[in-house]
A and B are shown apart, each in its own frame.
Chain A
Amino acid sequence: GIQVEQSPPDLILQEGANSTLRCNFSDSVNNLQWFHQNPWGQLINLFYIPSGTKQNGRLSATTVATERYSLLYISSSQTTDSGVYFCAVHSGGYQKVTFGTGTKLQVIP
């Protein structure tokens, strides 16, 4: 099956700093989503982004499907951004998504 790798696995940021999280996938995908898992375990959909660039406040995402990667940008980070960020992809004829390995982000005051 498709492999989805994220980097870095762990990231510690000072509040106010910017960061870029990366998601690489091993095969072509139909679509890609980014999720934030907060410290209570909830999975929040950030972006549905099969290609191109989208922005939502301090967050933006870019997917380059032909090169099999996606990037999530976090600007002016806040402590509430802490948690684990997952990308997840649909591939082939399947409706399920395959989750990446995750990036655990800690934003310190």
Chain B
Amino acid sequence: EPEVTQTPSHQVTQMGQEVILRCVPISNHLYFYWYRQILGQKVEFLVSFYNNEISEKSEIFDDQFSVERPDGSNFTLKIRSTKLEDSAMYFCAEEDYGYTFGSGTRLTVV
């Protein structure tokens, strides 16, 4: 079964550094999403992306965050200046009669 691939699987970064998380969707789906899960907590919506534009974003998705689809296939989430509280598991997802989530990137900010 096709998978949504995320890289890296784990990233450790220093506070204040920029990180880019990458996602390769299966293909040709209209909606893409980023979610995050702080350890031990529930999964939270960050942003939805439709037709190469942000269609919806949460309060968490402030000016430090951005999303892009730089080459029409890969899908990135950038955090410009990481904070300790950005430490979480980040998931991308796509939708086609239900969500398919990527394997996640565990981000640790130290």
Contact = CB atoms under 8 A, between A and B. Distances in A.
Contacts of B99: 33, 35, 45, 88, 97
A97 B101 contact: no
Secondary structure dominating the interface of B: strand
Contact of B45 (A33, A96, A100): A96
Interface residues of B, number: 23
Interface of B: 31, 33, 37, 42-45, 48, 50, 55-56, 58, 89, 91, 95, 97-101, 103-104, 106
B104 A97 contact: no
A66 interface: no
A109 to B, nearest CB: 25
A96 B33 contact: yes
Nearest to B97: A48
Interface of A: 31, 33, 35, 41-45, 48, 86, 88, 94-102
A99 B106 contact: no
Nearest to A94: B56
Contacts of B55: 95
12 contacts: A42-B103, A45-B101, A48-B98, A86-B42, A94-B56, A95-B31, A95-B48, A96-B33, A96-B56, A96-B58, A98-B45, A102-B42
